């Protein structure tokens, strides 16, 4: 059985320390990192809901336009959502 040298142990401990620091940084700044990455993307998945085996409904925002996507093993469907007149009137006031 080979003997471990002090240098090897220090390198492994240093590497693990760097990984732990990166993990803490990402956890603390999760929202700001997500916003930076999302700002560059035209498509954002707002929410996902599993409705059955192999079926999902996704609320997707594409260039500010909301779309509802039904995804299944057999295919998928896209529904473009529009604002209701009530919402437009409330936004104007």
Which pLDDT score, from 0 to 100, does residue 9 have?
93
Residue with tokens 């509802």: 68
| Nearby residues of 81 by Cβ (< 8 Å), 6 or more positions away | 65, 66, 67, 68
The better pLDDT of the pair 38, 80 is held by 80
Q: Is the pLDDT of residue 8 over 80?
A: yes
pLDDT tens, residue by residue, 22-53: 999 999 998 888 777 766 778 888 899 999 88
Which pLDDT score, from 0 to 100, does residue 1 have?
55
The dihedrals phi and psi of 81, each to the nearest 5 degrees, come to -90, 140
How far is the C-alpha of 83 from the C-alpha of 32, rounded, in Å? 28
Across residues 85-89, what is the average pLDDT? Answer: 51
Q: Is the pLDDT of residue 85 over 60?
A: no
How far is the C-alpha of 28 from the C-alpha of 32, rounded, in Å? 9
Residue with tokens 């473009």: 80
Three-state SS for 33? helix
Structure tokens given for 65 = 């336009």
The pTM is what?
0.47
Which pLDDT score, from 0 to 100, does residue 3 have?
81
């Amino acid at each position: 059985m080979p003997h471990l040298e002090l240098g090897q142990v220090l390198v492994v401990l240093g590497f693990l320390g760097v990984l732990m620091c990166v993990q803490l940084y990402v956890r603390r700044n999760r929202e700001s990192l997500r916003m930076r990455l999302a700002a560059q993307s035209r498509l954002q998945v707002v929410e996902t809901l599993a409705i059955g085996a192999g079926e999902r409904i996704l609320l997707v925002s594409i260039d500010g336009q909301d779309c509802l996507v039904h995804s299944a093993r057999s295919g998928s469907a896209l529904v473009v959502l529009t604002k209701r007149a009530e919402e437009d009137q409330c936004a104007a006031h």
